[in-house]
Structure 1
Amino acid sequence: MSLIDQVLARAAADPGVRGVILTGSRARGTQTARSDFDVTVVVAEQARPWRHSTRTGTLDEVVCTVEALADTSVHWRRYSFRGAKVLLDRLSGGIAELVDRQATLTAEEAVPLARANLDAYINQLYRCVKSRRDGLADAALLDEQESLPWLLETVFALHGRLRPYNKYLRWELENFPLPDPWSVVLMPDQVRLAPLCLFPAVESLARRRGHADVLDGWGSDIELIRAFAGAAGP
């Protein structure tokens, strides 16, 4: 009996279990010989909403309540459900619906997320270009690299999507492409070199999405970013 079969057999024998979800690389088909099985077991109730029940080299099992699975307030956890496979659903599709809800931004969620991350991206680039202006090349490089997470969060949110974990960035773009040119320029081997020179494209996208006020709120400081971004461009 395989490891997953053992988990499912144990879950099937427990009337308190409502669902079993496979996440991680095994669900996405990107596993290696060293990959473990990431499993979420959903139960009707427990003392804590989330808890680890097993963590070994082959199985990482988390137990959560149905109510906890329905809670989308923990942003960092949500992408883990992208591409997940529901192996057991005793809620007649209810577990699958909750998994999809975790992995999908609503328009109401995407707008403030895009705005907050756009502002943070601009802030970090402003630090970068001030360091460049002042001849502090090392500091500028570090600041530009620190802008990368904000860039990714911004662009994905502007498209109504959750930012993938770095490990799955290529998988996300290959399986769920963004409109041109983003699926190309956000590939790991490209975007890691381009947070600053991508600013004009991000600015254009943000303005089209109705976030001009975030950009214009930076006043003349935005001109410094544009100038250095143009010089850094291809």
Structure 2
Amino acid sequence: MNTPHTAQDRPGSPPRGLHRFTRPRPPEPERCELCGADLTAGHRHLVDTEHRSLACACPPCALLFDRPGAGSGRFRTVPGRVLADPGTTPATDAWNALHIPVSIAFFFRNSALGRPVALYPSPAGATESEIDPAAWDAAFAGSALAELLEPDVEALLVRRAGERSDCYLVPVDLAYELVGRMRLHWKGFDGGAEARAELDSFFGELTKRATDVPREAEHR
């Protein structure tokens, strides 16, 4: 007589006691890359200036490296401010001199290289472009946002539409987030409709979050 199989020893089922290893496991929680503490959503980031990378940080570590010169200056906490300035609008000739092949890019001052660097979205992620310092000066001379830009940790994010430019000073991790979102939705040669919609959504969120550049900075 055939013996009926139970749910635990049915052919093809895992041996008794191994069920917990065959169930889908929840994703590992994110941890601070300096001290290993668990992180919550919306945690802050540090810039590793030696390796030109971002590191996730818990509140105490972010606060520690928010002080100038902490940790010999290798790590710097990314600020949270987003500033807007309608006066920061590179002229078409000045923009073309930067040799950016697309209508959107972000720029930051790299302290290790001693010069500004440009990056722009592409299907492969962030593509870096070298900038002639003279071209940078021509494009952003007199810009309050460029004057306020903190090296390594903040970026000028520029989006052009014809003769018009929208320019924001943003945390550098936010600029990289945009590149990641664009890459996720990128289709075809020019990004496609989904990527453009994601770009519109991102800048809509940015407009709501941004504050005007401080008045005293406009007269530097």
TM-score scaled by length of structure 1: 0.23
Higher RCO (C-alpha under 8 Å, 6+ residues apart): 2
The structure whose residues are more often helix, as a share, is: 1
The structure whose residues are more often strand, as a share, is: 2
Computing the radius of gyration over CA atoms, which structure comes out larger, 1 or 2?
2
